[in-house]
Amino acid sequence: MPRSEKANQRIREVVQKKILDGARKVFARKGMGATMADIAAAARVSQGLAYRYFANKEAIINALVEEGIQSSEPFSAIWEMPGTPGERLARLISSFLQARREHPEFFVLFYQMVSDETASESLREQISRRGLAMQGLFRQLIVEGQTTGEVAQGDPDQLVTALMVYLDGLARLAMYSPEQFSKHFPDAEIILRILKPS
């Protein structure tokens, strides 16, 4: 009995996810030098099957970037969440840390792509815009939190920079020392202390 179209669609989705998961890890480790053979090996599929789903590695990179941008869309809903600016900021930072803990390779991939001059200019711009939008979101919550007395006074841009360096450092730790990253991943409360008024 032949499989239904619905069953075939499920199989396609599973294989595509395997390829993208493998690609995310390989690109995070090897950067743009990763090959389709590397991706297929990491996904545990044949190279021919990888090509059947994606024409080339650029198509995979585009899919990964799109996936990343879609996964960050819920962060923009922070304004609809109940609570004070300080509470929203704490939730946002906790969400960012949880995402880095659960999928560090995704963030490593983004950092690799932004710094790799062989990556397409449009992808690098897309990732940079996403990063700037996130920084703007953090900055606005910090400024509002300073107004309510929930966030330490001081230059909000310096506070955003400190926050971004912290988050970037976690991604780099995941890349260079995965064991230390998984064993000693910091709690959100540690970074929130930096932002609390004395």
Asked, for residue 39, whether it belongs to a domain, the answer is no
Secondary structure percentages of the chain, helix, strand, coil, to 5: 80, 0, 20
Q: What's the rounded Cα separation, in Å, for the pair 74 and 83?
A: 17
Asked, for residue 182, whether it belongs to a domain, the answer is yes
The two tokens of residue 129 are 């815009």
pLDDT higher than threshold 80 for residue 176: no
Quick one: pLDDT at residue 118?
A: 73
Asked, for residue 68, whether it belongs to a domain, the answer is yes
pTM listed for this prediction: 0.78
Asked, for residue 147, whether it belongs to a domain, the answer is yes
Asked, for residue 83, whether it belongs to a domain, the answer is yes
pLDDT higher than threshold 70 for residue 71: no
Asked, for residue 93, whether it belongs to a domain, the answer is yes
Residues of the domain holding 145: 58-195
In the block, residue with structure tokens 């995941």: 174
Asked, for residue 11, whether it belongs to a domain, the answer is no
Q: What's the rounded Cα separation, in Å, for the pair 47 and 49?
A: 5
Q: Which CATH number do you get for residue 159?
A: 1.10.357.10
Contacts of 111 (CB under 8 A, 6+ apart): 168, 171, 172, 175
pLDDT higher than threshold 70 for residue 140: yes
Mean pLDDT (the chain) is 86
Q: What's the rounded Cα separation, in Å, for the pair 39 and 25?
A: 9
Average pLDDT rounded to a whole number, residues 63-86: 77
Give the count of domains, the chain. Answer: 1
Asked, for residue 13, whether it belongs to a domain, the answer is no
Indicate left, alpha or beta for 31 from its phi (over 0: left) and psi (-120 to 50: alpha): left
Whole-number percent of the chain with pLDDT over 90: 40
Average pLDDT rounded to a whole number, residues 13-23: 93
Contacts of 36 (CB under 8 A, 6+ apart): 47, 50, 51, 56, 57
Query: Are 53 and 36 spatial neighbours (Cβ–Cβ below 8 Å)?
Result: no
Radius of gyration of the chain from its Cα atoms, rounded to whole angstroms: 19
